[in-house]
Every structure is written in structure tokens, then in C-alpha cells.
A and B are shown apart, each in its own frame.
Chain A
Amino acid sequence: METINVKNRKTQFALRKLVTPFLLIIVVALLYSIVVFDNWLITLISLAIGVALFYAYAKLPGFKTIVTESMSKDKILLLIVGLLAIIAVPLTLRTQPYIIHILIIAQISIILALGLNFQVGSTGIPNLGYAAFYGVGAYTSALLSTKFGVSFWISILLAGCLSAIFGWLVGLPTLKTRSYHMALVSIAFGLVTYILLNNIAFTGGPNGIKNIPPPELFGKSLFSSLRIFGNTYPVQFNFYYFVLVFVLLAFVVSRFIFNSKIGLYFNAVREDEIAAKCSGINTSTMKLLAFSIGAFFAGIAGSLYAHYIGYISPENFNMNTSLQILGMVIMGGMDNIAGVGIGAFILSVAPEKFRSLADFRMLATGLIILLMLMFRPSGIIKQQIRKYTSKHLMTEKLTQGEHHG
């Protein structure tokens, strides 16, 4: 009897160990098929399988515990395999530069969505003119490099900073007002930026800015194709890795802020502003900070976009863009960094596969936001309530003990 039991347990243990690799293979295969095949039917099937898996995860408690347990056990494995997959994908796409292009746009969207998440997700302030900050970044960077010949690295930094300053300024009038005032001011800022970009001659008016030079790395332009082992790689290949560095940085910074005290204060402001104030949190500073950080991300993303595409016009930064980014945050899961990344990825890649239905794109974005808010406001990945481990409790108890002692 006992031997059978042991054997049973052993096989169970081995099976448990296989859960993570198995899930990884499925997820990677799904994402890869969404990315690589330029066929809407395959995308639809992959998305359907993804939704089914997700539904099973949400509704079957047994499945959920197995997945979460094994995921948390193999965190490092997940991270390594994920990174390797991200790095390896373009190597297989040497002959399909268009797909790498879609991936680069997805990467820029991820940076944007992570930035908006500070405001809408963490702090709970609506920002409906986020594309304007994106536009400020893109135009700053483009103007600096086309009209004044400033190098990419300086202009991207200035773009981020100027955008952050604008974020701070837009936040100012609404510190003492309610969320709908904030929504109004952000929409107004978006519209004003759009009108000004269209009417000022310096920014090129409706024609925008052309011939924005690509970034230079080690004295070489990123627009020169790479040759490795006799294979020529397309230009997009360079940009993919270039933007990837920024995306990873954005993830690290978001994670860092989320785990820091500031992230906690952001959430406190979202949950109950008055209670946060009573606990000694300077809610005004926190709101302005959320605005500035989010706008900084947008500025960086805008600069990357301008230098990658080489051409920008006011149409890239209108209300529709704002709503698309908002959709990414809401779909992925407000305040959940991984979720926001996934939402941004899906909402920027999937529409490219349904190009024949491009006319319905904005309608679909609106419907997705609406349905998500009505039926699953927490998004694809729900942000769990912050848990503090025994380490935190221990230090707390120790300090308390000191007081009493």
C-alpha cells in the first residue's frame, strides 16, 4: 500500500513540475502564432484558445491553485524563458520585416500603457488626453533633431522631461477638484495640443515633420542593416532590440515604483483620498507625481516613435490614440504591470491581423473598454490586494516591541 502511495505522490510531484513548462509552451506558441501568421483566422483561433484557458483559470479553482503554485515556484525559469523567447523571436523573422515592425509598435505601446497605468491604474485619476503627452514628446524630439541638429540621446531625454513638465502643469488645476474635472482638463489638454500642433507653422501644421533622423549607436546609424554570418538583417531588426531595452527599463522602473512607498501612496490616494490625507500622505504631490511619471514615459515613447518612423503628424496624437492606450490599460488590468503589458501587446498586435476590418478598429476599442468595465473591471490579470510578508510583519513587531520596552 505504502509503496503505491509513494509512487503516486512521486508521479504527482513530477506532474506538478511539468505544469510550468507545459503552460509556457502553450503561451509562447499562442503568442508566436498571433505574431507570426498574417492570417486573421489563426489569430482568432489563438485568441479563442487564450480566452478559453483564461476562463478555465478563472472558473476552475483546482486549475487556478495548480497554476499559481507552480508559477510562483518557477518564477526565475519563467523570466529566463520569457526573455529568451523575446530575444529570439526576430531571429526567426528575418524575411518578414513587417512583423518586426508590428512588434516594435507593440513595444512602444507597452511603454505608453505602463505610463498611463500610473495615473488611471495606480492613482485612479482619469487621463483622457494621454496622447497629447505622447505628442509633446514626439514633437520635442523631432523638432530638436531636425531643426537644431541635437543628437538623439539628448533629445529623447529632453522630450521625456518636457512631457513630464506638461504632466505636472496639467495636474495642477485639478488638485482640489474631482475626477470628472480631471477628465475634462485632460480632454481639453488633448484637444488644445491637437489644435496647436495643427495650426502652428513651426511644428509643420497638419503636414507634420518629415525626415526625422534615426538614432545613432556607437557612431552608427540604426538605419544601416546588420550583417551577421553572411545574412543581412532588416533595419527593423536593430530597432527591435533598441526599443526592447527601453521596454525592459520601463518594466523595471514601474515595478520599482509599485513596490516602493510611492506606489503604496498612489494606491492610497485611489482607494480613499481623504483617508490618505489623514494618514499624512501629501495627496497633491502624489497626484502630480503620478502625472509627471506617466507623462515622462509618454515622452520617451513619443521620441522613440518619431525617430523610428521618421515622420509624425498631429493625426498620430488625437483622441483615438488616447482611447486606444486607455483600452490597453483597462483590458490588461488596472494597476497590474504584467497585465498592462499583455493588454498593450494584444491591442496593438491583434488589429494588424484584422486589417480587412480596419474600419471597425475604433468601434472595437470602444466596445472592449465598455465590456471590460462592465463585466471584468479588474482586467485580464487582476491586481491582488497588496500582501506583506512575514518579513514586514517581523520588523513592525520588532519596532513595536522597542517602543513598549
Chain B
Amino acid sequence: MNTFLQLLISALLVSSLYSLVAVGFTMYVGVINLANFSHGDTCVLGTFLMMPLFLYATKLGWISASTGLVILILIILLIFLTGLWGAAIYTILVKPLLAAPRLILLLATVAAGQVIREAIRVIYPNGSNPQVFPKLLPAGSLNLSGITLGYDSLTIIFLTIICILSLNFIIQKTKMGVAMRAVSQNADVAQMMGINIEKTIISVFVIGSALAGMAGILNGSYYGITKFNLGSNLGIKGFSAAVIGGLGDFKGAIVGGVLLGFIEVFAAAYIPNGSQYQDVFSFLAVIAFLIFRPSGILGEKIFEKV
């Protein structure tokens, strides 16, 4: 029973990371029907932007003085930076190619991911090797009748829930959120109703990339390590989660992320030799979904019309 509960906590942890990545994917698909394959690499870019910031802050002696507050400021700064990166990706890469066939745009985002990855590897000192990521989250653990609850995993789950709730608030209650939903339903009509489509799409890119940066630094500080090519795996998992949940559906991305996290953690634990093949299990789950329910758990079935 104890192992089960322990696994539950770690499944929730993995789920929250996947959900954060999946939300970005699903928003891009919802608004401009584009799967941005450089999204996972944005996460890693976040970690590699965070490390110099942290080093600089340590050098100035800020970290030892008032750790919690400084780290919070750093995280907010980083979210701002990755959000800016998302806007840049949209204006430089996606916008000029919106008129081109979708295949071109898709391949361009794949290439952009490769460029980010390799640029990190080449530019960052000793970038080919794994880098030690600073522990941003509180250390120590809580012991509840035999179950160890690490403060770091609790913080990650807590932060994820806060992010998702505030995003939900933005989407449901604010004017920007209404604009996003309108554009994703029918961009032409939304434009006729006076919605600034460009602004809406940029805001989607900013929010998606900011969440990706958040996922990246949470992932990095939990495992204490980051590497230039972690993003391709994280991105694929995030996209898989979005597909399982139903592309274009915000809640679906979270459901998919949770499902994928649980499949992965429990398969690794209960299937012999499972930890070597945990990626295989999650991909099998995605393929099963694509065959039997391509629209995902929450997605509506879409019929292509002539």
C-alpha cells in the first residue's frame, strides 16, 4: 500500500510536468492548427537560461541573503523570458509561413527545435554533457506514516495546480481568453467581430512558451540535471499527452498529461524490466488512442468537410 501511495505521488509529479508542456501544444493546435515541435526545446532553453541567471545571482550574493524571494523573482523573470521567446518564434518563424502548406510549417518547427538544441549544445560551455541544475525547490521531506513526501515534489504539484487554475481563469473569464476561444472556434468570424487575431495568437504563444519554460525549470530542479537534448523527449511526451486528451482542448491536455504520467510511472514499477521501456509504454498508449479514438478523451469528433 505504501509503495502504491509513493508511486501515486511520483505519478502526480510526472503528470504535472507533462500537463504543463501539453497545455502549450494544445493551445497552438486549437488556435492556429499547428503542432509546434520546437515546444519541448523551449523547455530546455528555459533551463539553460536559468542557469546563468542563477549563477549571476549567486555571484552578487543574493541567493544566500533571502533565497525564497530571489528564486521567485528569478522564476518570474525566466517565465517572462521564455514568453518573449514564444513571441519571437511566432513572429520570425510561424507568421511568415502561415500561408504555406501546413507540412512546410510543421517541418520548420521541427528544424527550429533542432536549431535550438544544437545551438545550446554548441554555445553553452561544455554543452554536450549533462549540466548540474541548481536546486531551486525547498529540500527536505515530510514523513507521513511511512510515505516520504519530498517538499520539492509537493511544490511542483502545487505550482502546476496554480498555473493551471490561473490559466483556466484567463481562458474563461478575461477578454483575452474569450478572444482565444473565439479564434479557435472560427478565426474569420472572430475577426469580423473585431478581435485582433494577431494579438490573440501572439498571446497564445507567449503563454504556451512561458508554461514550457516553467515545466523546464521544474523538471530540471527536481532531477537536479539538465541536458541539451532533453527537450525532444519532453516535447514528444507533452504532445502525446495533448493527443490523448484531445488536441485543442485545454482540459484534455491536463487529463492526457495525468494519464500519461500514471501509465509511465506504474508501468515502470509493476512491469518487470519496465523502467527501461517506460517510453515504449507511453507511445503504445498514444498509438492505441490514435487507432481507436483519434480525437482523444475529451476532444470532439471532427469531420472533414469539402
Interface residues of A (CB under 8 A from B): 120, 124-126, 128, 172-174, 176-177, 179-181, 183-185, 187-189, 191-192, 195-196, 199, 270, 273-275, 278, 319, 323, 326, 330, 359-360, 362-363, 365-367, 369-370, 373-374, 377
- Residues in A with CB closer than 8 Å to B276 are 195, 199
Query: Do the beta carbons of A362 and B290 come within 8 Å of each other?
Result: no
Q: Is B110 an interface residue (CB 8 A)?
A: yes
Partner of A124, one of B103, B110, B286, B304: B103
**Chain B residues numbered 77-122 whose CB sits less than 8 Å from any CB in chain A:** 93, 96-97, 100-104, 106-108, 110-112, 114-115, 117-119, 121-122
In the complex, per-residue mask of B113-149: 1 if CB is within 8 Å of any chain A CB, else 0: 0110111011000000000000000000000000000
Contacts of A365 in B (CB 8 A): 114
**Using a CB–CB distance below 8 Å, which chain B residues touch chain A?**
29, 34-35, 37, 93, 96-97, 100-104, 106-108, 110-112, 114-115, 117-119, 121-122, 232-233, 236, 239-240, 243, 276-277, 279-280, 283, 286-287, 290-291, 294, 304, 306
CB < 8 Å: which of A120, A173, A192, A195 contacts B290? A173
Q: Which residues of B contact A319 (CB under 8 A)?
A: 232
Partner of B279, one of A191, A273, A370: A191
Query: Which residues of chain A are within 8 angstroms of B103 by Cβ–Cβ distance?
Result: 120, 124-126, 179, 270
From A128, A199, A373, B108 is in contact (CB under 8 Å) with A373
30 A-B residue pairs with Cβ-Cβ distance under 8 Å, sorted by A, are: A120-B103, A126-B107, A126-B110, A128-B110, A172-B291, A173-B287, A177-B294, A180-B29, A180-B35, A181-B294, A183-B110, A184-B236, A184-B239, A188-B236, A188-B286, A189-B283, A192-B280, A195-B277, A273-B304, A360-B118, A363-B115, A363-B118, A366-B111, A366-B118, A370-B93, A370-B108, A373-B97, A373-B104, A373-B108, A377-B104
Report the minimal beta-carbon distance from B292 to chain A, rounded to whole angstroms: 9
Chain A neighbourhood of B110, CB < 8 A: 126, 128, 183, 323, 326, 369
* Min C-beta distance of A381 to chain B, whole Å: 17
Q: Determine the main DSSP class of B at the interface with A.
A: helix
Q: State A279–B251 Cα separation when bound (angstroms).
A: 39
Contact B37 A183 (CB under 8 A): yes
Smallest CB separation, A162 vs chain B (Å) = 19
CA distance A147 to B58 in the complex (A): 57
Hey, which chain B residues are within 8 Å of A124, CB to CB?
Answer: 101, 103
B93 to chain A, nearest CB (A): 8
Give the complex CA separation of A184 and B37 in angstroms.
9
User: Which 3 pairs, one residue from A and one from B, show the smallest C-beta to C-beta distance?
Assistant: A180-B35, A366-B114, A363-B118
Chain B residues whose CB sits within 8 angstroms of the CB of A184 once the complex forms: 35, 236, 239-240, 243, 286
B106 and A179 within 8 A (CB): yes
Q: Which residues of B contact A274 (CB under 8 A)?
A: 304, 306
Known A177-B294, A323-B110, A369-B107; 18 more pairs at CB < 8 Å = A120-B103, A124-B101, A179-B103, A183-B106, A184-B35, A184-B239, A188-B283, A188-B286, A191-B279, A195-B280, A273-B304, A274-B304, A323-B111, A362-B114, A367-B115, A369-B108, A373-B97, A374-B93
Cβ–Cβ < 8 Å partners of B290 in chain A: 173-174, 177, 181, 185
Q: How far is the CA of A39 from the CA of B103 in the complex (A)?
A: 37
Bound CA span A196–B107, Å: 26
